[in-house]
């Protein structure tokens, strides 16, 4: 039994074993091929990943530098808008090149620094000195912490709101009736106002482009308005809330001329600076910059654009 039995199956097994081994070998070869392919795919994926990462790293390190370039590109866009704007009534259209000039001066010249002899008292990194004008839109996502004014439903940036409340109290203690007529405006609200102005001019027969250019001379381009900063306030008196030029005849205006700086506010668009601010004289529009800055700016006799140009 032991001789016979194993002999037959062994011959049979060797045949089937051969087939099996062949199959196994083929299987292993295929497995090896698959593994090699998989390895290749993994290497390719890793390589792509590495290239992507390096690219991203290069990009972010670039981003740090051209924040200026980005600003200047948006400036050139808006300045081209303003230079193409019609040269009617408002001082803004023909003055934007000048305000650009002062900006350029600020970058290099020592002349402009001599102009400002109080430069040591102010820090241009001071957030309260943020500039918003038609050449300088606010950074994207700018959103100030807001506080509602006392005796009002209007809101300002918290520190500016506290300063305004103190100023109003001080003025009103002398028998005046200082009040805030317009304060913080979100960029969304500014966009609504701007679009409404465009529609107004289109109804009078202007093309879209003409209407946009005209609107930009009346309403500040969204993101470029000081009211978007939360640091600006249009001041009126109980008897004159119209925010018109005759506010300068009110005793409230005279008081502000004397005392606003003590509370950190400056007259933002003076009569003799229209060519530089690009905005017509607004005796009612005050801007919070902090007490030290306000006093230094008042003493210098410069507007904010000029003063900042002398700082950098
Ligand atoms: Zn205003």
Q: Which of 282, 299, 305, 306 is catalytic?
A: 282
- What is the structure's pLDDT at 55? 59
pLDDT tens column, 242-293:
778 889 999 999 999 999 999 999 999 999 999 999 898 999 999 999 999 9
- Same domain (yes/no): 88, 166: yes
- Same domain (yes/no): 265, 166: yes
The count of structural domains within the chain is 2
- What is the structure's pLDDT at 224? 94
CA of 114 to the centre of ligand 1 (A): 30
CA of 184 to the centre of ligand 1 (A): 9
Contacts of residue 22, Cβ cutoff 8 Å, sequence gap at least 6: none
Question: Do the beta carbons of residue 276 and residue 306 sit within 8 Å?
Answer: yes
Which CATH number fits the domain that encloses residue 236?
3.30.1380.10
- Same domain (yes/no): 171, 303: yes
- Same domain (yes/no): 137, 198: yes
Question: Do the beta carbons of residue 189 and residue 143 sit within 8 Å?
Answer: no
pLDDT tens column, 43-64:
776 676 666 665 555 544 333 3
Residue 5 lies in a domain: no
Kindly list the protein residues that place their beta carbon closer than 5 angstroms to ligand 1, a single-atom ion.
Answer: 234, 285
CA of 194 to the centre of ligand 1 (A): 14
Residue 162 lies in a domain: yes
pLDDT tens column, 146-170:
999 998 999 999 999 999 999 999 9
- What is the structure's pLDDT at 51? 63
Return d(Cα 205, Cα 117) in angstroms, integer. Answer: 51
- Measured CA distances, 145 to 186, 228, 257 (Å): 12, 12, 28
**Domain residue limits at 281:** 76-311
DSSP 8-class letter at 262: G
CA of 32 to the centre of ligand 1 (A): 76
Residue 111 lies in a domain: yes
- Same domain (yes/no): 24, 106: no
CA of 284 to the centre of ligand 1 (A): 7
- Same domain (yes/no): 23, 101: no
- What is the structure's pLDDT at 69? 31
Name the residue with higher pLDDT: 133 or 17.
133
Active site residue 282: yes
Residue 251 lies in a domain: yes
């Amino acid at each position: 039994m032991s001789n016979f039995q194993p002999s037959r199956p062994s011959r049979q097994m060797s045949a089937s074993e051969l087939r099996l081994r062949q199959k196994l070998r083929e299987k292993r070869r295929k497995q090896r091929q698959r593994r090699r392919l998989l390895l290749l795919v993994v290497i390719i994926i890793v390589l792509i990943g590495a290239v992507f990462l390096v690219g991203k790293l290069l990009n972010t390190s670039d981003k740090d530098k051209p924040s200026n370039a980005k600003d200047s590109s948006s400036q050139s866009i808006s300045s081209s808008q303003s230079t193409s704007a019609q040269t009617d009534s408002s001082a803004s259209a023909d003055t934007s090149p000048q305000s650009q000039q002062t900006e350029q001066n600020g970058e290099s010249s020592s002349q402009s620094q001599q102009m400002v002899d109080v430069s040591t008292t102010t820090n241009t990194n001071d957030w309260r000195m943020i500039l918003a004008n038609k050449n300088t839109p606010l950074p994207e996502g700018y959103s100030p912490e807001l506080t509602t004014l006392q005796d009002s439903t209007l809101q300002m940036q918290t520190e500016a709101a506290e300063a305004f409340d103190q100023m109003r109290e001080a003025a009103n203690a002398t028998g005046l009736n200082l009040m805030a007529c317009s304060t913080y405006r979100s960029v969304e609200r500014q966009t609504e106002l701007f679009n409404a102005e465009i529609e107004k001019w289109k109804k009078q027969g202007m093309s879209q482009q003409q209407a946009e250019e005209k609107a930009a001379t009346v309403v500040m381009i969204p993101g470029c308005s000081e009211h978007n900063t939360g640091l600006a306030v249009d001041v009126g008196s109980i008897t004159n809330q119209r925010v018109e030029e005759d506010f300068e005849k009110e005793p409230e205006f005279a008081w502000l001329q004397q005392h606003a700086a003590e509370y950190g506010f400056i007259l933002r668009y003076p009569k003799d600076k229209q060519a530089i601010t690009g905005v017509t004289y607004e005796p009612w529009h005050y801007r919070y910059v902090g007490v030290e800055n306000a006093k230094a700016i008042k003493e210098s006799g410069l507007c904010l654009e000029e003063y900042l140009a002398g700082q950098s």
